[in-house]
Structure 1
Amino acid sequence: MLKRLSYRINGFVGHYFPEQRLFLKSDSDTRFIRLQPVTQAVAVTGAALFLGWTILATSILLMESISAGSGRDQAQRQQALYEARLNALSADRDLRAEEAARAQERFNLALKEVSDMQGRLLSSEDGRREMETGIEVIQNTLRRTIKERDEARGEKEKLTASLQAETGSIRTGEGRAHDAAQTVEILSQALNGTSEQRDSMAIAAMAAKEETDAMATQKRALEAKNDVIFAKLEEAMTISMGPLDKMFRSAGMSPDDLLKSVRRGYSGQGGPLSPFSLSTKGEKLSNDEIRANAILQSLDEMNLYRLAAAKAPFAIPIKTAFRFTSGFGYRRDPKGAGTRMHAGTDFAGAYGSPIYATADGIVTTAGWTNGYGRMVTIKHDFGIETRYAHQSNIRVKVGQRVSRGERIGDMGNSGRSTGTHLHYEVRIGGKPVNPMTFIKAATDVF
């Protein structure tokens, strides 16, 4: 039965693969090997399958290589664009800071000129008041002298009339009349000198008034110039403060609480940014002084913002080529454990890629942690904590103080992981928040 079935199969396959014989000849004899149709068919089929598998595997590897190459190129281009944008924003920020410094210098110079001018104006005003007082004293003296002269003339006339009535002649007592005439002459000379002094003082008062008017005009021009300078400074403060305030609010942090916290840590007093007053008598501040104090307060707040930004994780922990493989939130567990909360962001890259701290802080964990593998935890200000998990090598120790941009480890695949990547977390008050909020907020400013 089996022989018959084999014969039929060989007969059917023989139409396509006729029986072949391979002759093997030696010096003494000749032998041959019979290749039946079924054997030939099996060999051809196996060779075809092997060839097809080889072509398919080669195609898959080639496509993966092309895809990986284009992905790296795209990541490199994105990295280059990101760095170019960072450089441009940094240059713009430095330019703004330089403009603010120059404006501060111009403002201080203008305030000094205003102070000097006010001092000269006050001195001129005091001189004018003294001159007015002197003129008033001279006028009173002149009135009293004229009154005494008039009284002396009246007394002379009475004496002359009495002498004439008694003697019938005004020539008797000529000596006393002569003395009276000399007295009147002396009084007249004194009155003339007083009048001349009054006229000279009036001319000096007029000149002082003209100088005062000129100084008042110059003061109004300087006030107008100061108003333009104040407007430019206020506009620069508004433009500079807006992005910083938006950055912190985008990250879910209260700017007011941040400023209070930073101010407590930097509570020293004095310096060029302290509020000032040109009055030493506790008088009400002028409008220019109020605007100047507001600008100084804005500069102080900008400085506090800068300190807060340096202490918060507004940076990305990977600087080499990478791709985002998993974001923050609930997802399907890659180990098949259902849906679970993913408390961070995953960055996939080359094994051993450098990992950098995203802000200044103190290392609180540097070792193996269940699920996280080799992990580094850094404690920052404002109750912020960052975690860097699945590392292949840790380069810091517990208690070590690190700075932003300092290398803390290498990317790896330790712990509960399906491939080489960095699991990066940001926690505020112990609760996880989306790290991309900080990264995206930083790209809008730095």
Structure 2
Amino acid sequence: MRTRLAIKIHAFLEQRFPERRVFLKSDSDTRFIRLRSETQIVAFAGATLFVAWTIVATAILLMDSIGSGNFREQAKRDQATYQDRLNAISAERDARAEEAVAAQRRFNAALAQISVMQSELLESETRRRELETGIEVIQTTLRATMKQREIAREALAALKEETGENGAIQLAATEMPAQMTFMAEALERTAQQRDQIRSDAQSALQARSDLELEIKLMQERNDQIFRQLEEAMTVSVEPLDKMFRAAGMPTDSILEQVRRGYSGQGGPLTPLSFSTRGEEPSADEIRANNLLQQMDQLNLYRIAAERAPFANPVRAAVRFTSGFGYRRDPKTGGRRMHNGSDFAGKHGTDIYATADGVVTHAGWESGFGRLVRIRHDFGIETLYAHNSQIRVKVGQRVSRGDHIADMGSTGRSTGTHLHYEVHVNGRPVNPMTYIKAARNVF
């Protein structure tokens, strides 16, 4: 059965690929190479596969080249959009800060005006009490004078009974002219003082009503200023808090660490105190102290943000070629852990520090090539590998955004790119966690 099938197959192949002989002739003899049908089929299939593989590989390279160009253009557009958004957010943040400073100035001016008005009100109240005391004294004097007048009348009546009307009048005229004149003048002065005191009391009451109205309007303006400041603080603090939480950083311990090491920055804000008599703070004092605490917290957040790697190490147009996690090794092809993120760009592209810190390594390291290692606060360390040139030295203190190196392809690398790592307490973490957390903040 096999023999017949083989014969049929051989006959079919002989029809399509007849046996051929290739003659090789030399000066002394002639030889030939016999090409059977099976050999011709194998050669034809190999050539066909080679041509097909060549076509497919060329198409893949063309598609990858076109896709890479489109991706670079998209990356440039995204970078431009990100820069515009960053500038807009910075401008908005500065405007909010100016509004907060202006509101604080208005608040201080309002507090000063309230203090002046309170002093005037206290003086008016003191004047009113003095006037009331004067009125009481005058009324007491008037009552005593009226009592003396009644006594004089009774004495005059007694004289009338004893000496008669004419005698009494003559006696009174001769003995008490000075007393009557004094009493008349005293009564007139008392009446004038009473009228003046009533007029002053009415003026004081009107002034008090005007001051109370002014104080009420001032309290309403203060309340409006407080609301604006509280809204500004909420808008400023919440994004920073969300950024730290999105990066997996405990905000309480971070702020406490910054507060302990707060040096050379002016010191934290102190609470307001409007009274030295040991009284309970008013509602405005409590709100003002809360605002000052939020301002202090905002300052601490901004200081902490400068010391954590939230910035992008490359600002030029680059291509994100590899992320954090397991991947196919570009050298060996095996599956290995990749502890950072790769950004491919032009040779010599500027590389920037992503946070404030101290350079602990600036030189060659096996596998990384020219490497810059920076130690930051909160147990964080950043690595910048495969550089063509290093711009910093060991022990140098750098700030976020400082130019520290140029992009290259030194060490174990297949092309020009930056290998960027972030370590927390010696353990590598995904750098994009920090960059994405700050995308809508800075």
- TM-score past 0.5 threshold: yes
Q: 1:389-432 CA distances to partner (integer Å, 9 max, x unpaired)?
A: 22232221101122222221222333344443322122223332
**Paired residue type of 1:436:** M
User: Which one of 243, 248, 251 corresponds to residue 247 of structure 2?
Assistant: 251
Q: 1:435 to 1:172 in 2, by over 3 A?
A: closer
Q: 1:142-195 CA distances to partner (integer Å, 9 max, x unpaired)?
A: 22222233233334444554x44xxx8973895566223541342233123212
Q: Which residue of 2 aligns with 1:88?
A: 88
- Is the partner of 2:422 in helix, strand or coil? strand
* Cα distance in 2 for residues equivalent to 1:51 and 1:341: 37
User: Which one of 212, 216, 221 corresponds to residue 216 of structure 1?
Assistant: 212
* Cα distance in 2 for residues equivalent to 1:222 and 1:271: 31
Instruction: Give matches, 1:18-417, under 5 Å.
Output: 62-158=62-158, 161=161, 163-164=162-163, 171=167, 174-175=170-171, 178-266=174-262, 274-331=270-327, 333-334=329-330, 336=332, 340-417=336-413
**Paired residue type of 1:285:** P
Partners of 2:72 and 2:319 within 8 A in 1? no
Give the drift of 1:104. 2.2
* Cα distance in 2 for residues equivalent to 1:269 and 1:365: 28
* Cα distance in 1 for residues equivalent to 2:146 and 2:317: 105
* Cα distance in 2 for residues equivalent to 1:136 and 1:340: 99
Q: 1:153 to 1:268 in 2, by over 3 A?
A: farther
* Alignment gaps of 5+ in structure 1: 1-11, 20-37
Q: 1:210-259 CA distances to partner (integer Å, 9 max, x unpaired)?
A: 11112211211221222222222212211221111111111112222232
* Cα distance in 1 for residues equivalent to 2:50 and 2:170: 164
**Paired residue type of 1:146:** M
- What is the alpha-carbon root mean square deviation over aligned residues? 3.7
Give the count of matched residue pairs: 412
* Cα distance in 1 for residues equivalent to 2:179 and 2:343: 114
- Is the partner of 2:441 in helix, strand or coil? coil
Give the drift of 1:61. 5.3
Partners of 1:152 and 1:184 within 8 A in 2? no
Give the drift of 1:333. 4.7
Greater shift in the superposed pair: 341-350 or 372-381: 341-350
**Paired residue type of 2:94:** D
* Alignment gaps of 5+ in structure 2: 1-14, 23-34
Is 1:420 aligned with 2:416? yes
Partners of 2:160 and 2:167 within 8 A in 1? no
* Cα distance in 2 for residues equivalent to 1:139 and 1:327: 95
**Paired residue type of 2:118:** Q
Partners of 1:363 and 1:401 within 8 A in 2? yes
Give the drift of 1:109. 2.6
* Cα distance in 2 for residues equivalent to 1:62 and 1:149: 127
Q: 1:185 to 1:271 in 2, by over 3 A?
A: farther
Give the drift of 1:56. 7.2
- Is the partner of 1:443 in helix, strand or coil? coil
**Paired residue type of 2:253:** D
Q: 1:347-378 CA distances to partner (integer Å, 9 max, x unpaired)?
A: 23333332211112110111222333321111
Give the drift of 1:338. 6.0
**Paired residue type of 2:355:** A
Partners of 1:322 and 1:347 within 8 A in 2? yes
* Cα distance in 2 for residues equivalent to 1:304 and 1:361: 17
- Compute the TM-score of the two structures, normalised by the length of structure 1: 0.80
Q: Which residue of 2 aligns with 1:35?
A: none
Q: 1:408 to 1:158 in 2, by over 3 A?
A: same
* Cα distance in 2 for residues equivalent to 1:268 and 1:59: 62
Give the drift of 1:82. 1.6
- Is the partner of 2:184 in helix, strand or coil? helix
- Compute the TM-score of the two structures, normalised by the length of structure 2: 0.80
Partners of 1:352 and 1:410 within 8 A in 2? yes
* Cα distance in 2 for residues equivalent to 1:270 and 1:156: 87
- Is the partner of 1:424 in helix, strand or coil? strand
Q: Which residue of 1 aligns with 2:10?
A: none
- Is the partner of 1:365 in helix, strand or coil? strand
Q: 1:383 to 1:154 in 2, by over 3 A?
A: farther
Partners of 1:117 and 1:219 within 8 A in 2? yes
* Cα distance in 2 for residues equivalent to 1:131 and 1:268: 56
* Cα distance in 1 for residues equivalent to 2:230 and 2:302: 18
Give the drift of 1:280. 4.1
* Cα distance in 2 for residues equivalent to 1:328 and 1:206: 82
Partners of 1:343 and 1:432 within 8 A in 2? yes
Q: 1:56 to 1:329 in 2, by over 3 A?
A: closer
Partners of 1:343 and 1:433 within 8 A in 2? yes
* Cα distance in 2 for residues equivalent to 1:325 and 1:95: 38
- Is the partner of 2:271 in helix, strand or coil? coil
**Paired residue type of 1:117:** M
Partners of 1:156 and 1:180 within 8 A in 2? no
Q: Which residue of 2 aligns with 1:31?
A: none
Give the drift of 1:91. 2.0
